[in-house]
Amino acid sequence: MYKEIIKGGAFVALLLTLIILQATGVIDLSTAASWLERYAGQWWAPPLLVGLMVVLYAFALPASTLMLAAGVMFVPAWATLWSTLGGVLGAWAAYILVRHVSGPWKESYQQSSLYDVLQNNAGFATLTAMRVFPGFPHSVINYSAGLLRVPLVVFLLSSITGHAAKSFVYTSAMYHATHVDSEADAFSFATLWPLAALAALFIGGLLVRRLIGLKSEDGGEAR
């Protein structure tokens, strides 16, 4: 039941450890960050990042690694923009794609507990909460919404809101974790608030899951 909290705590602890090690000079992430930032300056980098995310989300493959990479490559505002664009377009593609497939693959989504929840309540608030809080697989949200023919406007608006909020927190956390120059930076508000927000998202996700009575079989980090 509490594996989201454990995973979230481990992720936040890992980022905090990286920040401390970077600030104290034990490790140096600036070289890797600079290497990625050089590619970020190329005109083709944002379209490639967005395109890869669209494909991964459309075919129910994990895209969280690309979102974290965006947090290293770009400042949070731009990283949020590209991650949100990739997530929303990928969600739209999955929403359309699921209507043209059949067989056991399709039936597996219809048998999930998340599908049952959306069957009874697929409004803007529920969809947005599922997007924002970790623990709700994006693939199941996208495909279930397509199968249930959730109004496209509601689906897209909730996708934009959820992806934007979540991407901003994740990319901000990654950016500050890999761009710490001193101990003062390590314990500044700008560096620590994303970690606190991440912890709050994981706790909020658990509370929302319990509120809507979602079974643990659909658990795991939302991708």
Query: What pLDDT band is residue 156 in, cutting at 50, 70 and 90?
Result: very high
Lowest mean pLDDT among 6-10, 65-69, 116-120, 210-214: 210-214
Residue pair 28/22 in contact (Cβ under 8 Å)? The answer is yes
Tokens of 22: 């970077």
> What pLDDT shows up at residue 106?
75
Residue pair 40/201 in contact (Cβ under 8 Å)? The answer is no
Tokens of 51: 């395109």
Does residue 220 carry a pLDDT above 70? no
Identity of the residue numbered 111: Q
Mean pLDDT rounded to a whole number for the chain? 87
Q: What separation, in Å, do the N-terminal and C-terminal C-alpha atoms of the chain show?
A: 19
- For the stretch 15-26, pLDDT in tens is 999 888 888 878
> What pLDDT shows up at residue 216?
55
> What pLDDT shows up at residue 71?
93
> What pLDDT shows up at residue 34?
81
> What pLDDT shows up at residue 215?
62
Q: What is the mean pLDDT of residues 135-143?
A: 90
Pick the residue with more confidence: 209 or 150?
Answer: 150
Residue pair 122/206 in contact (Cβ under 8 Å)? The answer is no
> What pLDDT shows up at residue 2?
61
Strands of the chain, DSSP E: none
Does residue 120 carry a pLDDT above 70? yes
- For the stretch 35-53, pLDDT in tens is 888 888 899 999 999 999 9
Does residue 55 carry a pLDDT above 90? yes
Percent over 70 (pLDDT), the chain: 93
Lowest mean pLDDT among 59-73, 134-148, 199-213: 199-213
Does residue 67 carry a pLDDT above 50? yes
Query: What pLDDT band is residue 1 in, cutting at 50, 70 and 90?
Result: low
Q: What is the pTM of this model?
A: 0.88
Question: Tokens 């809101």 correspond to what residue?
Answer: 161
